[in-house]
Amino acid sequence: MASSVATQLFLFFFLWLHTLSSSQAGRHNYSEFRYPFIREASSFSSSSSFSSSGRGAGDHAYDYIVVGGGTAGCPLAATLSRKFNVLLLERGGVPFANANVSFLKNFHITLADTSSNSASQFFVSTDGVLNARARVLGGGTCINAGFYTRASTRFIRKSGWDARLVNNSYTWVERQIVHRPKVAPWQAVVRDSLLDIGVAPFNGFTYDHVYGTKFGGTIFDQFGRRRTAAELLATADPLKLTVLVHATVQKVLFDMSGKRPKAAGVLFKDENGNLHQAFLSNSQRSEIILSCGAIGTPQMLLLSGIGPRDELEEKKISAVVHNEFVGAGMADNPMNAIFVPFKRPVEQSLIQTVGITKMGVYIEASSGFGQSNDSIQCHHGIMSAEIGQLSTLPPKQRTPEAIQAYIKRKKDIPHEAFKGGFILEKIANPISTGQLRLINTNVEDNPSVTFNYFKHPRDLQRCVDGIRMATKMVQSEHFTNFTQCDKQTTDKILNISVSANVNLVPKHTNDTKSLEQYCKETVLTIWHYHGGCHVGKVVSRDQKVLGVDRLRIVDGSVFDESPGTNPQATVMMMGRTQEIHGTENLERQTRKTAGVSGLINQEHEIEEQC
């Protein structure tokens, strides 16, 4: 018996050493076992020529090329690979061995990292709000707060999606990467306070989007490890899927020899700066699918020659299709936060509780400061610690005024504030919209993005209503008992919150006297931006790009509202559902070509509802 135990311990120790050495050997070992199809972009051998027929010389031709291995792109590529040859191109690296991505306690570190190899890419909208976009396989699921909740039934109906396929696709995602959270004490207090102010009923734990207060799902498991959309790639056929990381697509290539432009391939740059071309097969069913996100997809269309003609001409981009709506209608759900100081230690928690009101306001919460020993050893500002608002600036943004204002705000923040929590108030379905425009033709640079937060008075009024709700929560007996702090006045609550805020919006001395002013000057993002490629203006109802063939979009850029309280569940579902729709439709086309008739009614219904 002792010998058996010793043998087991030895084997465990050997496997642990092997895993440790593999993780330290370099970034190329992530694909050896579970993901053998993931490779560095420089390993790709491409043809050197491109013919007007849309085919490159050589054998590298794919049924589908998916640009962007993010929240939608990973499930999209995984299921398509069951029947078709698929190439997935991701500009970032892999998340699997990245501790900053993988663990809840390090949530804020990636968002505070503005280096070129970070999993997040920092940008500032023209509104002065600090923001981030994902740059890693798995996309936003690698850098978000992990909250998982489905879209409303209204959103599903409006999108024209088949409810059965949608439910099956949600379930497919949930079985693999979604968990029921262990509810933190702070989150229970938030629940009780929401119910006290009338955000009822309590719906318990549910993924569904229903009015009242609930606990939602999370992509963090019981050990605090993040499960991302990249893990959905494990369901792929490894013989039919190729995933290239550090593959930065420069533009879509078009065959212009026919009546309509036809997507034929893509030009991408590898991690060494070398250019490659990848092409679609000559089959009519083949497509390039853009899943670059609400910032990256309209940017990619513009760089590829699809957009407003005057903007393309200004940037000396050859026009493929004039479309004035590319980049229009950009929206972001404005968020404002109320800081709650504690006199007691508090467990770190991200989003677990949500209040879904009938006034178009969502209430969420976070608590604790989870900085680990591996963290950047400095104060990032409260927002960095709690909800990932960036508090470092790239060189181009380091104006003397911005630096001095930022340093002053950081000096004014007491260290004990990091032991507090936040009530997060977010506007559902903002009416205010803006636009995205190219700054230059370098795809690695952020475009100019404007969201026009609170431009519409209805959005501003909803923020005021939400802040009033949040201050009532903080003043409730549930909060005072938990925080061990005395009940505070509204002015004091707002003054503390203003000092904690980090953005580049100019401040006034009276921003706590007017709730409207408070909303405007403390506005933040929770990264739920969307739009830029709306249905009926840039894409058809089945998300095919208007004016060209063999080009489709599957990501949040087609949304005119962010689904549910948090969109990641629906974006992953969207990738999976799109795959099912596409696969069934292509099977139908194949059978028609073979002379097979008598398609079943169910298939016809699916096609009509795509």
User: Which domains does the chain show, CATH number per domain?
Assistant: 60-165+226-331+529-590 (3.50.50.60), 182-215+334-427+454-522 (3.30.410.40)
Question: Residue 481 corresponds to which tokens in the numbers above?
Answer: 């008992």
307 is in an annotated binding site: no
Mean of pLDDT values over 229-244: 96
Give bridge partners of residue 136 from the DSSP assignment: 93
- Residue matched to tokens 């009923």: 201
Q: How far is 341 from 517, CA to CA, in rounded Å?
A: 23
Above 60 in pLDDT, residue 454? yes
- Chain segment 464-477, per-residue pLDDT in tens: 999 999 999 988 88
91 is in an annotated binding site: yes
Above 70 in pLDDT, residue 374? no
Q: What percent of the chain has pLDDT over 90?
A: 62
- Chain segment 171-187, per-residue pLDDT in tens: 999 999 999 999 999 99
Q: Which of 209, 246, 528, 581 is catalytic?
A: 528
Nearest to 170 by CA among 186, 145, 153: 153
161 is in an annotated binding site: no
60 is in an annotated binding site: no
CA distances from 173 to 71, 230, 571 (A): 11, 11, 11
- pTM of the prediction? 0.84
249 is in an annotated binding site: yes
Strand runs labelled E in 78-160: 86-90, 120-124, 130-134, 147-148
Is residue 390 within 8 Å of residue 114, measured between CB atoms? yes
243 is in an annotated binding site: no
In a 13 Å sphere around the CA of 91, the CA atoms on its Cβ side amount to: 28
- Chain segment 519-551, per-residue pLDDT in tens: 998 999 999 999 999 999 999 999 999 999 999
* Helical axes 457-474 vs 185-196, angle rounded to 10°: 110
Question: Residue 343 corresponds to which tokens in the numbers above?
Answer: 């006199």
70 is in an annotated binding site: no
Q: How confident is the model at residue 511 (pLDDT cuts 50, 70, 90)?
A: low
Q: Is beta strand 353-356 parallel, antiparallel or unpaired with respect to 361-367?
A: antiparallel
Residue 528: active-site member: yes
Q: How far is 29 from 35, CA to CA, in rounded Å?
A: 10
Q: What is the DSSP code (8-state) at residue 42?
A: G
Nearest to 268 by CA among 255, 256, 278, 258: 278
| pLDDT at position 580 | 52
Own/partner contacts of 481-490, CB < 8 Å, gap of 24 or more, are 482/185, 482/186, 482/189, 482/342, 482/344, 483/340, 483/341, 483/342, 483/343, 483/344, 484/342, 484/343, 484/344, 485/341, 485/342, 485/343
Q: How confident is the model at residue 392 (pLDDT cuts 50, 70, 90)?
A: very low
- Chain segment 115-147, per-residue pLDDT in tens: 788 899 988 899 999 889 999 999 999 999 999
- Residue matched to tokens 């936003």: 140
| pLDDT at position 498 | 73
Nearest to 366 by CA among 355, 352, 382, 380: 352
Helix or strand holding residue 312 (H, E): helix 309-314
- Residue matched to tokens 């629906």: 570
Question: Residue 246 corresponds to which tokens in the numbers above?
Answer: 């550090």
Tell me the average pLDDT of the chain.
82
CA distances from 58 to 50, 87, 139, 178 (A): 10, 16, 31, 42
Question: Residue 393 corresponds to which tokens in the numbers above?
Answer: 């600036």
Is residue 519 within 8 Å of residue 463, measured between CB atoms? yes
DSSP notation for 237-304: -TTTEEEEES-EEEEEEEE-SSSS-EEEEEEEE-TTS-EEEEEE-S-TT-EEEE--HHHHHHHHHHHT
Where are the alpha helices (H) located in 99-238, listed in sequence order? 99-102, 107-112, 153-159, 163-177, 185-196
Q: How confident is the model at residue 395 (pLDDT cuts 50, 70, 90)?
A: very low
Is residue 529 within 8 Å of residue 330, measured between CB atoms? yes
Q: How far is 314 from 12, CA to CA, in rounded Å?
A: 62
Q: What is the DSSP code (8-state) at residue 220?
A: B
| pLDDT higher at 533 or 3 | 533
Q: How far is 1 from 421, CA to CA, in rounded Å?
A: 52
Q: How far is 226 from 224, CA to CA, in rounded Å?
A: 6
Least confident of 56-60, 434-438, 553-557: 56-60
| pLDDT at position 99 | 85
| pLDDT at position 76 | 97
| pLDDT higher at 97 or 591 | 97
Q: How confident is the model at residue 71 (pLDDT cuts 50, 70, 90)?
A: very high
Q: How confident is the model at residue 32 (pLDDT cuts 50, 70, 90)?
A: low
**The Cα angle at residue 297 between residues 295 and 301, in degrees rounded to 5:** 125
- Chain segment 251-308, per-residue pLDDT in tens: 999 999 999 999 999 999 999 999 999 999 998 889 999 999 999 999 999 999 999 9
Is residue 547 within 8 Å of residue 131, measured between CB atoms? no
